[in-house]
Structure 1
Amino acid sequence: MPQLTLVVGTKNYSSWSLRPYLALAHTGQPFQEVVIQLGEPDTTEKILRHSPSGKVPLLKHGELAIWDSLAICEYLAETFPEAKLWPEDRTARAVARSVTAEMHSSFTALRQNMNMNIRARKPGQGRAPGVAEDIARIQVLWNDCRARFGQGGPFLFGRFSIADAFYAPVVTRFVTYGVELDAVGAAYRDAVLALPSFLKWAEAGRHEKAIAKYE
């Protein structure tokens, strides 16, 4: 099988990179990583050596290059169906794709005011207009998915899925900024934080020396 290589940004900060990393790790397939430090003078030049979009993440599978976190995850789901990255039930799968797409395209206030920063603790910060509404909407989504489809495991659809990979960076933000969650949200947060693949990513992020300019 062709070599899998995932090009990612600084692990402490790159929420977009964390998502396909978790999905790829869940497949159990061996892969190489290329980590590009964000916020450096030569960051764009280094990314362009790999990615035509000038952004990370990017997955290389042999001669094929796939950019955009959701496109990468969909490719992994198709290429490694045994990993069951989407729920098997059609209804659950449709909802999982919906909540994933909402995360991919929405929650702008949360993204802009609560940057992912795994090693930082900033309780009470980032509470700009619109952030509270984003947090409330996310908790509604989590509660709905857990109530309707969460049997059989601690994740949004029971078993780990792409939806969980997409909400993992939100979990880190809630920890960093001290966001209080209801019982369902807190249990889900803890399940994501306990993922071996997440723990490995977070440990690497904590030991990175680079500090992005926006920090």
Structure 2
Amino acid sequence: MGDNKANINYTLHVYFTRYSSWGSRVQLILSYFNIPCDVKFYSMGHPTGAPPSRFAKGLLPALQVGTEDDDFVVEDSLAISEFLAEQHPELHLWPKDRKLRALARTAAAQMHSGFGELRNTYGANFLGKYTGNIPSTESVAKEIREMLELWNKARADTKKRLHELGEEDEGFLFGGFSIADAFFWPVLWRFRSYQLPLTGISEDGLKWMAKMWNDPVMKSQAREYFRQAENPLSRIEKYEDIFKGNSGVEYSQFTKDWEFDWQKS
């Protein structure tokens, strides 16, 4: 490929991101850092709108990287994120400071490979809203506590390190917005959708959540998810009303005007 980035084109192949934990991470990174990219959305479970055969055996998201002469595909959200960070070092997709960068990479890797009980119990659905007696288990409750502890520690360590460096803290997990924040974006949906408890979260952790929910780029992504919902092909039945038949749980959907108020959480 050489170093001539001017001739490089990116195409993100992804399932509709209003349900996609993996795809929404990459789409958010591309949007936040203003990296030009065509995005092609596909249906999950619908023959109409299915991904092309080139991606039939792989898992989306997939980033097609093309030049005038050739192209290749990078799969997996973490691999794609690392590739983009290497391609665009001037954008600092990871924190500039090596210590914060290591902490951010650690956090993203933990989210990428861990918290399986939480993710499998509560499917990602940006619009979905559950109220009532939400089913849980001790293993899920344990992972929720671990998640909150991770966020608390990230913010505490970051504030300390930025103070040492004499640098501004923008309020994201590791100072400025990074890949790590994008990797926790879909789990914030789950905390909202399933009314998951925030017991034990620090004030700085809550402020980070508010920072994410109120950021203009995240709000723009939210509007994108609502637009996707207007397309019947974007609907994935298995992620809709997953507790159907449980009389103690009521399912509805959030409206576009929802706001996160950290002082009331």
- The TM-score with structure 2 as length reference comes to 0.75
Q: Is the counterpart of residue 105 in structure 1 residue 113 in structure 2?
A: yes
Q: Tell me by how many angstroms 1:48 deviates.
A: 4.6
Q: Is the 8 A contact 2:155 2:205 kept in 1?
A: no
Work out the CA distance in 2 between the residues paired with 1:103 and 1:140.
13
* Residue in structure 2 matched with residue 132 of structure 1 by the alignment: 141
Work out the CA distance in 2 between the residues paired with 1:147 and 1:108.
25
Work out the CA distance in 2 between the residues paired with 1:212 and 1:20.
20
* Partner secondary structure for residue 205 of structure 1: helix
Q: Tell me by how many angstroms 1:52 deviates.
A: 6.2
* Residue in structure 2 matched with residue 162 of structure 1 by the alignment: 179
Amino acid at match of 2:172: F
Q: Is the 8 A contact 2:14 2:23 kept in 1?
A: yes
Q: Tell me by how many angstroms 1:8 deviates.
A: 1.4
Q: Is the counterpart of residue 171 in structure 1 residue 171 in structure 2?
A: no
Which residue among 112, 117, 129 is the counterpart of 2:125? Answer: 117
Q: Tell me by how many angstroms 1:175 deviates.
A: 0.7
* Partner secondary structure for residue 7 of structure 1: strand
TM-aligned CA distance change 1:145 to 1:129, over 3 Å = same
Q: 20-29 vs 157-166, which deviates more?
A: 20-29
* Partner secondary structure for residue 47 of structure 1: coil
Work out the CA distance in 2 between the residues paired with 1:193 and 1:108.
23
Q: Tell me by how many angstroms 1:42 deviates.
A: 5.4
Which residue among 52, 55, 64 is the counterpart of 1:51? Answer: 55
* Structure 2 unaligned blocks of 5 or more: 1-5, 163-168, 241-265
Work out the CA distance in 2 between the residues paired with 1:201 and 1:56.
19
- The TM-score with structure 1 as length reference comes to 0.91
* Residue in structure 1 matched with residue 220 of structure 2 by the alignment: 200
* Residue in structure 1 matched with residue 87 of structure 2 by the alignment: 79
Amino acid at match of 1:204: E
Q: Is the counterpart of residue 180 in structure 1 residue 205 in structure 2?
A: no
Q: 71-80 vs 47-56, which deviates more?
A: 47-56
Work out the CA distance in 2 between the residues paired with 1:22 and 1:72.
12
Q: Tell me by how many angstroms 1:204 deviates.
A: 2.1
Q: Is the 8 A contact 2:108 2:179 kept in 1?
A: yes
* Residue in structure 2 matched with residue 143 of structure 1 by the alignment: 152
Q: Is the 8 A contact 1:113 1:128 kept in 2?
A: no
* Partner secondary structure for residue 174 of structure 1: helix
Work out the CA distance in 1 between the residues paired with 2:76 and 2:146.
24
* Residue in structure 2 matched with residue 94 of structure 1 by the alignment: 102
* Partner secondary structure for residue 237 of structure 2: coil
* Partner secondary structure for residue 121 of structure 1: strand
* Residue in structure 2 matched with residue 3 of structure 1 by the alignment: 9
* Residue in structure 2 matched with residue 34 of structure 1 by the alignment: 40
Work out the CA distance in 1 between the residues paired with 2:83 and 2:23.
15
Work out the CA distance in 2 between the residues paired with 1:33 and 1:8.
7
Q: Tell me by how many angstroms 1:64 deviates.
A: 2.0
* Residue in structure 2 matched with residue 190 of structure 1 by the alignment: 210
* Structure 1 unaligned blocks of 5 or more: none
Aligned length: 213
Q: 186-195 vs 61-70, which deviates more?
A: 186-195
* Partner secondary structure for residue 153 of structure 1: coil
Deviations 1:26-46 (A, max 9, x none): 332221110112232456xx3
